[in-house]
Structure 1
Amino acid sequence: MPKPVLMRQMPQIAHVDVNCFYASAERAFDPSLEGRPLIVLSNNDGCAVTRSPEAKALGIRTGDPWFKLAPRAKEWGLVARSSNYELYGDISARVMELLGRHSAWLEVYSIDEAFLGVKGRPEELLALGRTMKAEVRRNVGVPVCVGIAPTKTLAKLCNKWAKNNASFGGVCHWEAVPAPVKESLLERLPVDEVWGIAGRLTRRLNALGIFTVLDLVRADPVVIRDKFSVVVMRTVLELRGIPCIPMEEERLGRDQLIFSRSFSTPVTTVDGMRQVLSIYGQQASARLAKHGLQAKVLTAFAATSPFRQHEQAYPSVCLSLPMPTADPLLLTKATHALLPHIRNGLKYAKAGLMLTDLRPTGNQSPLEPFENRHEERGIGPLLEDVSRRFGHGSIGLGHGGIKGGVDWSMKRGMQSPRYTTHWDELPLVKAA
């Protein structure tokens, strides 16, 4: 009797995305926001960066300035919240940890989305998607949608369908969708809905008669490669179900780290900028230490407002550090190289640091004459530990530790409590 042939289950990719992440994180701890139009504002309460479905229904667009929306907020019942990055970061970590229980192959793609490697029959994968959706909602309190397909590009497309088509119930598996329905959905979607297709590339594709996702699927990959690039050809192949973009289990090997903020009140003096750069240098050090990285090149920059036509300045300096480092003393001292280029009296609206040539900590030990005694003493980890226990601003080095008078920090007049990371801001529950 011949042995039964076992069909090999090909790996699939699940794309999980939190719906309207910032707004959903706000609602997780404030049920009174459910069903109400809600927006989360950018730095300094500038403009809308996240809109709830109710806010979108009012015609509010991403990037609409708050000062234009505020006069009609009461009339619309519109609620605005300042960005609360600590809360969002913690909610994100909880979501990712929960998703990681369902796959040993997890790629955190951004603060609100992740790819997972999964295997199973179509009905099993649909059940898995529904399980992940239900568990994140129940345990973290935020809604997600799930797209499952043979490739990353298709998985993101399935997620989009799941989010915008109620018939999917928030979970869409490519292989469970009938062929005629697939074709209809692809034909209705404009080509710029595809991951990685936007802007000028869309216009160039339109010029070739490629207006919908279905048009792109039917395009000749070789012609696309010759007229555009290998990257766009890979997108076409991915849309045909041929995996071309691999999973990355770790995305910390980044090329650069940028730490930049706009000021709520302009900085007009060299001394003021010295304090800004000192604080940024130490915060950038903490960010490097958190990811186990060191930097070899530091760029510091500042800028006046682009709307002040008669007094614009964009000074910057780029330094090669003596050795790869995450030490707050060395980084802070390096940032001060920008100070000779700062002019007293000019109204600087922004400053920042860019760290490049990043390397894993301890990847290469320096020769003894070049060892950094500050890193040997663990000053950076000590500062981070104190800040974590007693809050940001509780300790600092030099001008970065000056208390009082810091009126340039970001304006967040409508920020909700940091419910999950600060004891004195924990939510209170009262029994009836």
Structure 2
Amino acid sequence: MARPAPMRQMPQIAHVDVNCFYASAERAFDPSLEGRPLVVLSNNDGCAVTRSPEAKALGIATGEPWFKLAPRAEEWGLVAKSSNYELYGDISARVMELLGRYSAWLEVYSIDEAFLGVKGDTGQLLALGGRIKESVRRHVGVPVCVGIAPTKTLAKLCNQWAKNNPAFGGVCVWESVPAEVREGLMGRLPVDEVWGIAGRLSKRLNVLGIFTVLDLVHADPVMIRDRFSVVLMRTVLELRGTPCIPMEEERIGRDQLIFSRSFATPVTTSAGLREVLSIYAQQASARLAKHGLQAKVLTAFAATSPFRNHEQAYPSVCVPLPMPTADPLLLTKAAHALLPKMRDGLKYAKAGLMLTDLRPSGNQPPLAPFENRHEARGIGPLLDDASRRFGRGSIGLGHAGIRSGLDWTMKRGMRSPRYTTHWDELPLVKAA
């Protein structure tokens, strides 16, 4: 008698998310911050962008200005840290490298979360989620939660349950939760908690009587498509367990690249703005080269503070490039097209570049008369390599040359050390 064929295990998707990522990264190298209310501030130490659970318990909202929190910080025992992007980027890279050991099917979705393709029965998936959680905590030092389900949307939902319900212990597998419990959880969760549904869309859904995740699950997908979009219909189908959002090998924003910063001190002269645009063009060139991309269109823009009642200005210029390029010289020249539209004396608080119509490098080689000699010499990758080896500001072109102490650069007065990326800021360990 022939043995029955074993049941085929359907592929599942694991969603791994670092809890309060910026705050957790700060705590990884400073244990004294554990258990204390902690906020990480936005550019120029403006407002709270990440809050530890203890800070949330104080009623501190995301986006709360630091100048309002500072007077009560000592009373609350509140600690504030400037954004330490070098540290966060390195911690993120370590987390993603570690996750890649558990699956060859990895999609890095953002700096603090990723999707993994996994297989196994319910018990095996629960054990895998536990190993991932323990491994990241032990080897990188940051806490994560894991949600595993048949679709991306359900995996995100499971991760949210794992994070907010201590009974799950930080790991939630869809199939391990009884159907009646799943319905109860979805019936208590507002519809705007679903991945991809923002406040404005949730209000439109509320008009149709769709207030909770469970209401959306029971909605007619065809009606949702006709009244909203195919994208939202896919969300409904995903909530029902039908995979509609495929895994992607790479997410680097291939449609556009934006490089924009606010200034710690306003820039008031054309010379200062020329320097800003030159530096931004050089750094944008390095990012393009890193991802093997070239741009066909550059948009440069600047803005005064929106809180100034007088003398507001928002100049911008769109420059079609002669050929797809990542060359810093061509990008700098194009960015300088904004300068004639700027007025000396105005206090510009922000500037930036947006590169669009991106395409892979070498995808369409130009004819010989139109070749860019700088591109062939690899100036962009050379600058990027030198900056990574010797530090930003060690090399530059023209107005983006070697400088130090630029007064318009981002203010980060409460930044912690960049423990893992700068030799002179490495942590010291002393044996007792």
Q: Normalized against structure 1, the TM-score is what?
A: 0.99
The corresponding residue for 1:240 is 240
Pairing 1:28–2:49 present? no
SS of 1:300's partner is strand
Q: Distance in 2 between matches of 1:405 and 1:176?
A: 56
Pairing 1:336–2:336 present? yes
Q: Distance in 1 between matches of 2:27 and 2:363?
A: 43
Instruction: Give the aligned residue type for 1:266.
Output: P
Partners of 2:108 and 2:115 within 8 A in 1: yes
Q: Which moved more, 1:22-31 or 1:379-388?
A: 379-388
The corresponding residue for 1:85 is 85
RMSD: 0.9
1:403 shift after superposition: 2.1
What's the CA shift string for 1:381-404, capped at 9, x where partnerless?
Answer: 221122111111111111111524
The corresponding residue for 1:272 is 272
Q: Distance in 2 between matches of 1:202 and 1:108?
A: 27
Q: Distance in 1 between matches of 2:381 and 2:187?
A: 54
1:423 shift after superposition: 1.0
Correspondences of 1:295-374 after superposition (within 5 Å): 295-374=295-374
Q: Unaligned 5+ residue runs, structure 2?
A: none
The corresponding residue for 1:199 is 199
Q: Distance in 2 between matches of 1:363 and 1:226?
A: 39
The corresponding residue for 2:183 is 183
1:224 shift after superposition: 1.3
Change (3 A) 1:73 1:253: closer
1:231 shift after superposition: 1.1
Identity of aligned residues (%): 85
What's the CA shift string for 1:90-121, capped at 9, x where partnerless?
Answer: 11011001001111110000000000011110
Instruction: Give the aligned residue type for 1:267.
Output: V
The corresponding residue for 2:46 is 46
1:2 shift after superposition: 3.0
Partners of 2:254 and 2:359 within 8 A in 1: no
What's the CA shift string for 1:167-196, capped at 9, x where partnerless?
Answer: 000000000001111111011101111001
The corresponding residue for 2:227 is 227
The corresponding residue for 1:423 is 423
SS of 1:350's partner is strand
Q: Distance in 2 between matches of 1:112 and 1:207?
A: 34
Q: Which moved more, 1:196-205 or 1:373-382?
A: 373-382
Q: Normalized against structure 2, the TM-score is what?
A: 0.99
The corresponding residue for 1:112 is 112
Q: Distance in 2 between matches of 1:340 and 1:223?
A: 51
Q: Distance in 1 between matches of 2:159 and 2:92?
A: 18
Q: Distance in 1 between matches of 2:404 and 2:35?
A: 40
SS of 2:357's partner is strand
Q: Which moved more, 1:383-392 or 1:232-241?
A: 383-392
Partners of 2:237 and 2:244 within 8 A in 1: yes
The corresponding residue for 1:64 is 64
Change (3 A) 1:94 1:402: closer
Change (3 A) 1:402 1:426: closer
1:6 shift after superposition: 1.5
Pairing 1:214–2:198 present? no
Q: Distance in 2 between matches of 1:395 and 1:198?
A: 43
Pairing 1:378–2:371 present? no
Q: Distance in 2 between matches of 1:109 and 1:232?
A: 19
Q: Distance in 1 between matches of 2:261 and 2:185?
A: 41
Partners of 2:95 and 2:140 within 8 A in 1: yes
Partners of 2:190 and 2:213 within 8 A in 1: yes
1:62 shift after superposition: 0.4
- Runs (4 or more) in structure 1 with deviation over 3 Å come to none
Q: Distance in 2 between matches of 1:369 and 1:428?
A: 57
1:197 shift after superposition: 1.0
Q: Distance in 2 between matches of 1:154 and 1:19?
A: 18
Q: Which moved more, 1:216-225 or 1:260-269?
A: 216-225
Q: Distance in 1 between matches of 2:212 and 2:405?
A: 55
SS of 1:225's partner is helix
Q: Unaligned 5+ residue runs, structure 1?
A: none
The corresponding residue for 1:6 is 6
Q: Distance in 1 between matches of 2:240 and 2:138?
A: 35
SS of 1:321's partner is strand
Q: Distance in 1 between matches of 2:106 and 2:133?
A: 16
Q: Which moved more, 1:371-380 or 1:10-19?
A: 371-380
Partners of 2:290 and 2:381 within 8 A in 1: no
1:419 shift after superposition: 0.8
Q: Which moved more, 1:399-408 or 1:67-76?
A: 399-408
What's the CA shift string for 1:359-413, capped at 9, x where partnerless?
Answer: 1111121111111111222221221122111111111111111524620000000
Instruction: Give the aligned residue type for 2:229.
Output: S
Instruction: Give the aligned residue type for 1:333.
Output: K
Instruction: Give the aligned residue type for 2:46.
Output: G
Q: Distance in 2 between matches of 1:405 and 1:423?
A: 20
1:252 shift after superposition: 3.0
SS of 2:358's partner is strand
Q: Distance in 2 between matches of 1:220 and 1:403?
A: 60
SS of 1:120's partner is coil
Aligned length: 432
1:219 shift after superposition: 1.0
Instruction: Give the aligned residue type for 2:385.
Output: D
Q: Distance in 1 between matches of 2:386 and 2:219?
A: 57
SS of 1:354's partner is strand
Partners of 2:296 and 2:355 within 8 A in 1: yes
What's the CA shift string for 1:267-294, capped at 9, x where partnerless?
Answer: 0010110000011000111111111111
Instruction: Give the aligned residue type for 1:78.
Output: L
SS of 1:263's partner is strand
Q: Distance in 1 between matches of 2:243 and 2:160?
A: 19
